[in-house]
Every structure is written in C-alpha cells, then in structure tokens.
Structure 1
Amino acid sequence: MANNQNQGNMSREEAGRKGGEETSRKYDQEHFENIGQKGGETTSEKYDQEHFENIGQKGGETTSKDQDNNFYKDIGQKGGETTSEEHGQKHYQNIGQKGGETTSEKYGEEHYEKIGKKGGRNSGNGSSN
C-alpha cells in the first residue's frame, strides 16, 4: 500500500503543491499553451461531438440545479457589460444592420406589410384596417 507521506513528513498534497510551483517556475506561458492545445486536439480526436454535447448537457443541468435566477441574471449582466465595453456602439449598429438585412431577405416585403397591418389594428389609435 502506498504511503501518503514522503520521507520528510510532507503530505502528498504539500508535495504536489511544491512540485506544481517548481514546474510553473521552470516553464513559460507558451509551454503550457502548447501542451493544452495538444491535449485539446487529442481529446477532440478521441471523442465525437455527441460526447461533448452530453457532458455539456449534464453540466448545464447540474448548474441549473445549483443556481437560482439571480445567478443567471448576474452573469448575463456581466457578459453584456463586457461585450459592450469591448465592442462599442459601431459593433451593435453593424450587427443590427446585418440582422435586418437577413430578416428582410428571409421574409420579404409581403411579410412586413402583413405585420404592419396587424400592428396598425392593435395600436389603439382607432384605425380599423
């Protein structure tokens, strides 16, 4: 049976921490990025998309059991603020323009005339189109 203590009365956890600190001093950021990328590539070759979908589903279910609505509101707020700070107003104008063009191409003029008439009837201005 393995002993959890090494020769100098150091716990396995402490020895692991010291080893990790030494490794981190020995290698630079690029080294860790390279081995992380290799690990990611190997993992993606080993497993199919369904595997990753399943673990993502399980993680999402676990998170939703452990967190309340405020958690999701908070992370959504933080994400929105970060995105806004990183991209600015021009970004939102561009994606709004692209979304409008795509929707227009998808539905066409007849669609907008139809929803415009419905909106006019429901606007409360007395119109009866």
Structure 2
Amino acid sequence: MERYNRDLHTHGIDEYNEYKDTSSTGRDFSFGLLLGIVVGTVAGLVFAPKSGQALREDFSDPVGMFEDGKEKLVDSIKQKKAEFEEVSRIKKMDDDTLELQKAAIRSEAHDSNVIDMSKL
C-alpha cells in the first residue's frame, strides 16, 4: 500500500491510497500502560521512606497500616483544633483587655476634663 503524499495529490493525482496502520495502536497503548504500572510500582518501592522490613510488615497487615494512618490523621486534627482554640482564647482575651483599656482611658479623659474649683 502506498503512503499518502500531499504534494503528489495536489499536483493532479486523483486517486490515492491512504496508509492506515491500526493494528499496533491498541497493542502499543496496552504495552505502555503495563510498562507505566511496572515502572511506577518499582519507583514507589525504591523511593519509599521505610526500610524493607518495615515495608514487608506493612504489606502483611494492610488494615493495621490504614489504622495507623487514621490515628495519625485524627491526632493531627485534634492538635490543629487545640491550636485554633488557643488562638481564639487569646484573641478573645486580647479583645476583652482592649475594651478594659479603652474604658480606663475614657474614664481618665473624662476625669481630667473636670476642673476642681476648690484648688483655684
């Protein structure tokens, strides 16, 4: 089968056979997918932050691995909640202190505006 040549077609050849190779498209995709899965798995195991023994223990007890992750996540959320509550408490305390200081300043300013006539 002859490949399509645009230049030949535009210069007067009315009929041409376009070359289509569809036989390897699915096979190439499958091969690429399989290769990507294998390479990704190997890279994940090679670059894992755990030692081989710890990794094997995790694979032998996958439920425990997810429970450990869940506990870490719950602890992290509790810690963030405690930090948020502490910040909120300090902000509320600062707001209360600020209001008390404003009231004291107003009181002082009001008292200083009053003239004691007996001292004149």
- When normalised by structure 2's length, the TM-score is 0.29
Structure 1 or 2: more helix by fraction: 1
Larger Rg: 2
- TM-score normalised according to structure 1 size: 0.27
